[in-house]
A and B are shown apart, each in its own frame.
Chain A
Amino acid sequence: MQWFKNRKTLTKLMLAFCLMSVLMAVVGYQGISAANTINGMLTTLYERDMTGLSAIKDAGNAIAHIGRETRSGILSNDPAEVEQLSRTIDTEFATVDASLSAAEKTLVTEETKAQMAKVKELRPQYEAMVRDILRFSAARNNKDAWDRMQKAAGLAHQFEAAVKDIADVKEKLGQKSYEESDALYHSLRSTLIAVLGVSVVLCLSIGYFIAQLIAKPLVATLATLEKVADGDLTAAVEVNSEDEVGTMAQSLNRTIEEMRRALTEVRTSAENMAGSSQELASASEELASGAQEQASSLEETTATLEEITSTVKQNADNAKQANQVAVGSRDTAEKGGSVVTEAVAAMGEINEASKNIADIITTIDEIAFQTNLLALNAAVEAARAGEQGRGFAVVATEVRNLAQRSATSAKEIKRLIGDSVRKVENGSGLVNKSGETLHQIIDSVKRVTDIVAEIAAASREQSLGIEQVNKAMVQMDQVTQTNSSQTEELSATAQSLATHAEQLQVLVQRFKVDSHGTQRVHIAAPVKAARLKEKAAVARPHVAAVPPVAVPSPVKPNGHDTTADANAFVEF
């Protein structure tokens, strides 16, 4: 039994159907053989009896025709007509012969055979008679013809009766055959019904048995599937055969196990996801608070930036003032320089004059010197002259004194001149120094101007820098905005994720995968990210564009204010 159970369904069914086919074959065979028998009988009936009968009847008809035509021949007066009738009768005789021979083939009983012999025996007599009659008729010997016919009447009757006897026998035989077949049909019908009934019962029982074999495991599988559909993944099917259903049950078991395993994993994952989404929510909250801090930092930075802007503006103003002052100083210094130049020129003139005086004094000195020399010479000569030269010596001495005095005065004057020149030189030196100082002042002023120009440039750059910082601030503000909205989205997403995780857990909860219950991970409250957006929005108005700072243009050394470069700067 187990062997059968373990066969494949196909095999089982095939076996059942084979059995059924066998039974059907049996029944069929029975039927066919019965039909065969009946067919044989019918054939017999037809071939033997009906055909024979028909042939006999044809023969009878033909004989009747012959009789009729013979009579017509007798009645007719036309030899041509008689001739024609004769030919017709020939044809009829042929027909009779043919029919008789055909009928003879179908004769089986002794009785009929004897009768046929008799017919055959009578036939030529009849034919001779007919011919005679016809001859007589043709010869317009109607009287002989009629006489002959009267004599032959009994023969004709015999002939006809013999033929008719055969026909009757044939009919009887036919009837007998029919009755036989009828009885056979009835018996066969009963047999068939019986066999059919047995077969049906047998088939039904086999079918039921096999259906049970197949259906029961299927039902069990179905029941398990129902349990699985209801969520109990611990169900399993009992496998008690190795046919397709058995293997299907095995596969189902395995499927259930896999599903159970997978679902367990899903459950674990759902728990994890719930935990992770919670972490995500808290991280999102941190992010939100971070963005909040960023927004407040932005505010502070903006305020600082405004301060810086005002400072830079002050710087620029101061630079401008410094420039103006430097320009004033430079003008003054230049005036001073020109005054100095005049002073130097005046002193140069003084020096000139002094030099002239010095030259004259030198001349005087030389004159004194020469005078001295001459006086000395005179003294020498006077000394040489001795007594006579005494007076001359005195004169010479006086002249020398005068020369001395002259020289002394000249020296004095020279000294004074020297003093004066020295003083003038001092003064000149001082004036030069002051001139130098003025130049230095001018240089310093120039340097100051340059520095102021640098300050201006630096202020400009500062302005630019501040502008850039401003832009960056605006960008940062936008980014913070984006951040906050993203954080909001993130928290919303985290929230929805948490919800989904819960849903997932709920879904998974439905399935029973193990004996003990499961814990659900509760998701924390959603993140308050909405606050952040307000904060960021508050920060935004402060980060307005800081206006570009007006910066003085650098003053060129030639003293003319040049036009300011760059677009946004105010000209001074």
Chain B
Amino acid sequence: MTENTARSDVQMHSDAMQQFLTFSLGNEEYGIELLKVQEIKGYSPVTPIPNCPAHVKGVLNLRGAVIPVVDLRVRFGMDAAEYNKFNVIIVTNMGSKVVGLLVDAVSDVLNVGPADVRPAPDFGTHADTRFISGMAACGEKIAVLLELDTLLVDVEAPHEAETEMAAKPAAN
């Protein structure tokens, strides 16, 4: 399926519902647009790359493709935590780049209507306000919806090396 189709479908739905994939980081729930999620992987060992920003944990070999993995905890300034096989790497595909997000766990797929999205208050979470697109109720918890583009805007370093590899379409 083409991106366009997907997008249009989404737009169709965006008027009614948007689907977010919620994941947890520490005690907080975050959400990202489901359509941007390429796949969800279990934790695999990440190869660290020197001279990377701190939040870039390294790179990962994803069926031949080398993708950078961002440690969201570091990104959000949280304390680092032990990573085990129950951690999840959410492979996000934003068209131009594919980035893996290292999170604690994946929770659910949320169908969120626009009425459920609240604007983010300027306190309370580790995530910088720029990243937050809003907040939604997720069961009893509030999930902070993240804006991926802004989140991953500066994930550049291995990008150049990867761009050539990403030239092969990440088709699935």
Contact = CB atoms under 8 A, between A and B. Distances in A.
A357 interface: no
B40 A384 contact: no
A373 B106 CA distance: 8
Contacts of B37: 380
Interface string B85-122: 11010000000000000000010010000000000000
Interface in B36-63: 37-42
Dominant secondary structure at the B interface: strand
Contacts of B85: 366
A383 B108 CA distance: 13
A384 B109 contact: no
A270 to B, nearest CB: 121
Given A369-B86, A376-B109, A383 B35 contact: yes
Nearest to A389: B1
A377 B40 contact: yes
Contact of A376 (B1, B9, B21, B172): B21
A381 B9 CA distance: 13
A369 B35 CA distance: 21
B34 A380 contact: yes
A373 B42 contact: yes
A385 interface: yes
Contact of B6 (A366, A372, A376, A384): A384
Contacts of A197: none
A372 B107 CA distance: 9
B5 interface: yes
Interface in A356-407: 366, 369-370, 372-373, 376-377, 379-381, 383-387
A123 to B, nearest CB: 213
B24 interface: no
Contacts of A383: 19, 34-35, 109
Contacts of A377: 39-40
Most A CB atoms within 10 A — which of B5, B37, B106, B109? B109
Contacts of A376: 21, 40, 106, 109
Interface in A157-208: none
Contact of B35 (A370, A384, A387): A384
A373 B89 CA distance: 10
Contacts of B5: 386
A373 B21 contact: no
A320 to B, nearest CB: 63
Given A380-B34, A380-B39, A383-B19, A373 B88 contact: yes
User: What 4 A-B pairs have minimum CB-CB distances, sorted nearest first?
Assistant: A386-B9, A373-B40, A376-B40, A383-B34
Given A376-B40, A380-B21, A383-B109, 9 more contacts: A369-B86, A373-B88, A376-B21, A380-B109, A383-B35, A384-B34, A384-B35, A385-B1, A387-B9
25 contacts: A369-B86, A372-B106, A373-B42, A373-B88, A376-B21, A376-B40, A376-B106, A377-B40, A379-B109, A380-B34, A380-B37, A380-B38, A380-B39, A380-B109, A381-B172, A383-B19, A383-B34, A383-B35, A383-B109, A384-B1, A384-B6, A386-B1, A386-B5, A386-B6, A386-B9
Interface of A: 366, 369-370, 372-373, 376-377, 379-381, 383-387
